[in-house]
C-alpha cells in the first residue's frame, strides 16, 4: 500500500499521530526540508511522536519516511494527470466519450508501467523463470484472472505454468514447491493474507519468488527475490473497476513472456508456429488474416 493510503487509513494512531498524519498529507512536498523537530513544532506534538508514527508505517524513522513519501509524490504527480483511474468517466458521458476515456487510461497505464520497470529486476525475473522446472502463479480475484492469458502463451512455447483457483489448493501447491520451481505472486496491495501465507510457505521451501505488486513498502516485497512494480493509482475499494491495475498486471506478464521468448527466439517461434498449425483449427475468408 502506498504511504498516502496508509496515512489515511491506519486505525491504530493516537490523537497526536493523527494530527501528524493529516499535516503530512496536507503539506505534501513542503515537508522536504523539515526535520523531526521542525515537524513536531509545526504540529504541536513531540519528536518521539514523529518517530512512533514513522515506525507504525514501517520505517526506521522520519528521514526514511520522508524520503519514501517524497519519491511516492513524485511518481503520483507524473502520471494520470488527465484521467482519474478510480472514476475515469462520469454519468453524463456519452458511450463514445467513455470509450475514449477508457482508451486514454489504458495508454497512460502502459506508459506508467514501463516507467516503473528496472532492468536488473526484469533480468532477474526472466532468469528465474528460465531456470524453473515449473512456474506457479498465485493470487486472488482479478489478479489471478490476468494470469490465464500468460499461462496460455507459455504453454505454446512448451513452458509449464500452473495455477489454482481455490485458495486452499494454492496452499497445497505452495507446500509441494521446491527450489527448482519459481513462483509468481500477484497482489496489488501486497498485504493479502492468503498471498502472504503462500509466500511464507514458499520461503520455507526455498522456492524463488517474483512479486508483482504496487509501489511503496508492503509485506509481500519482504519475501520476494525480485519485485516488478505495477501502476499504483487506484483505491482498494472506492472505484468503478480495476481498469488500471488489470492492464498493468497484464502488461508485466506479457513483458515476462516476451523476454523469455527472446532467449530462444528462433526455436520458440518455430515451435509455436508448428504447434499452432497442428492444433488451432482456424480459417478466415479475409485475405489479411490468411497464412501463406
Q: Given this model, what pLDDT does residue 142 score? A: 77
Span 72-94, pLDDT tens digits: 887 776 655 678 889 999 999 88
Is residue 100 situated within a structural domain?
Answer: no
Confirm whether 287 is domain-assigned. no
Residue 98 lies in a domain: no
Query: Do 113 and 73 fall within a single domain?
Result: no
Q: What percent of the chain has pLDDT over 70?
A: 93
Same structural domain for residues 173 and 30?
Answer: no
Q: Domain range for residue 59? A: 3-78
134 and 66, same structural domain?
no
Secondary structure of 174-243 as H, E, C letters: HHCCCCCCEEEEEECCCCCHHHHHHHHHHHHCCCCEEEEECCCCCCHHHCCCEEEECCCCCCCCCCCCCH
Give a yes or no: residue 64 inside a domain: yes
The domain that holds 263 is classified in CATH as 3.40.50.10490
| Residue 287 cell numbers, joined | 485475405
Cell triple for 61? 524513522
- Residues 21, 15: Cα–Cα separation, whole Å: 10
CATH number, domain of 45, equals 1.10.10.10
- Containing H/E element for 162? strand 161-163
Quick one: pLDDT at residue 276? 81
Decide: residue 15, CB within 10 A, 0-12 exposed, 13-18 middle, 19+ buried.
Answer: exposed
Specify whether 184 is located in the same domain as 269.
yes
Instruction: Kindly indicate the confidence band of residue 43, based on its pLDDT and cuts at 50, 70 and 90.
Output: very high
Residue 287 has pLDDT above 80, yes or no: no
Tens-digit pLDDT profile for residues 115-171: 999 999 999 999 999 999 999 999 987 788 889 999 999 999 999 999 988 888 999
Same domain, yes or no, for 61 and 161? no
pLDDT value for 51: 93
Query: What is the pLDDT at residue 78?
Result: 67
Q: What share of the chain is helix, strand, coil (3-state, %, to 5)?
A: 60, 10, 35
214, with CB counted inside 10 A (0-12, 13-18, 19+), is: buried
Confirm whether 146 is domain-assigned: yes
Q: What is the DSSP letter of 57?
A: T
From CA 126, how far away is CA 2, in angstroms rounded?
Answer: 26
Within-domain flag for 292: no
- Same-domain pairing of 157 and 51: no
Residue 265 confidence (pLDDT): 96
Query: Nearest-5° angle of CA 219, CA 3, CA 36?
Result: 110
Residue 292 has pLDDT above 70, yes or no: no
Do residue 255 and residue 211 come from a single domain? yes
Mean pLDDT over residues 224-244, rounded?
Answer: 92
* Residue 247 and residue 143 share a domain: yes
Higher pLDDT: 287 or 188? It is 188
Residue 36: the pLDDT is 93
Mean pLDDT rounded to a whole number for the chain: 90
Quick one: which H or E segment has residue 257? helix 243-263
Whole-number Å distance between alpha carbons of 108 and 233: 11
Q: Are residues 71 and 193 in the same domain?
A: no
Distances (CA, A) of 105 to 124, 244, 257, 266: 29, 7, 23, 35
Domain-terminating residue out of 62, 78, 94: 78
In a domain, 289, yes or no: no
Among candidate residues 23, 56, 78, the one where a domain is terminated: 78
Q: How many domains does the chain have?
A: 2
My answer on whether 139 and 204 are in the same domain is yes
HSE-up of residue 271 (Cα within 13 Å, Cβ side): 13
Per-residue pLDDT at 11: 74
Q: Quick one: average pLDDT of 235-252?
A: 92
d(CA 83, CA 60): 35
Comparing 10-14, 50-54, 131-135, 236-240, which segment has the lowest mean pLDDT?
10-14
248's CB contacts (< 8 A; 6+ apart) are 109, 112, 113, 230, 231
The predicted model gives 189-201 an average pLDDT of 94
How far apart CA 128 and CA 121 sit, in angstroms, is 11
Model pLDDT for residues 7-40, shown as the tens digit of each residue: 877 777 889 988 999 999 888 889 989 999 999 9
Residues 129 and 41 in one domain: no
* Helix residue spans in 117-166 (DSSP H): 119-131, 141-145, 147-155
Same domain (yes/no): 213, 270: yes
Amino acid at each position: 500500500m502506498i504511504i498516502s493510503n496508509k496515512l489515511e487509513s491506519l486505525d491504530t494512531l493516537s490523537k497526536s499521530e493523527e494530527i501528524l498524519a493529516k499535516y503530512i498529507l496536507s503539506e505534501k512536498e513542503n515537508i522536504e526540508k523539515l526535520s523531526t523537530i521542525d515537524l513536531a513544532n509545526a504540529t504541536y506534538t513531540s519528536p518521539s511522536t514523529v518517530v512512533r508514527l514513522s515506525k507504525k508505517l514501517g520505517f526506521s524513522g522520519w528521514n526514511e519516511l520522508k524520503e519514501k513519501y517524497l519519491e511516492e509524490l513524485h511518481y503520483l504527480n507524473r502520471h494520470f494527470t488527465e484521467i482519474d483511474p478510480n472514476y475515469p468517466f462520469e454519468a453524463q458521458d456519452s458511450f463514445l466519450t467513455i470509450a475514449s476515456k477508457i482508451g486514454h487510461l489504458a495508454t497512460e497505464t502502459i506508459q506508467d508501467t514501463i516507467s516503473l520497470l528496472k532492468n536488473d529486476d526484469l533480468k532477474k525475473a526472466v532468469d528465474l523463470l528460465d531456470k524453473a522446472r515449473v512456474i506457479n502463479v498465485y493470487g486472488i480475484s482479478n489478479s489471478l484472472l490476468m494470469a490465464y492469458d500468460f499461462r496460455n502463451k507459455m504453454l505454446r512455447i512448451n513452458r509449464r505454468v500452473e495455477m489454482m483457483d481455490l485458495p486452499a489448493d494454492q496452499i497445497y501447491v505452495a507446500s509441494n514447491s521446491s527450489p527448482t520451481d519459481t513462483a509468481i505472486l500477484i497482489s496489488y496491495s501486497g498485504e493479502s493474507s492468503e498471498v502472504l501465507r503462500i509466500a511464507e510457505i514458499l520461503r520455507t521451501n526455498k522456492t524463488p519468488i517474483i512479486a508483482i505488486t504496487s509501489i511503496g513498502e508492503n509485506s509481500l516485497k519482504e519475501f520476494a527475490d525480485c519485485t516488478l512494480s505495477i501502476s499504483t493509482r487506484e483505491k482498494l475499494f472506492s472505484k468503478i473497476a480495476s481498469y488500471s491495475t488489470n492492464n498493468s498486471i497484464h502488461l508485466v506478464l506479457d513483458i515476462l513472456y516476451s523476454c523469455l521468448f527472446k532467449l530462444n527466439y528462433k526455436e520458440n517461434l518455430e515451435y509455436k508456429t508448428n504447434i499452432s498449425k497442428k492444433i488451432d483449427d482456424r480459417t478466415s475468408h479475409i485475405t489479411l488474416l490468411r497464412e501463406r
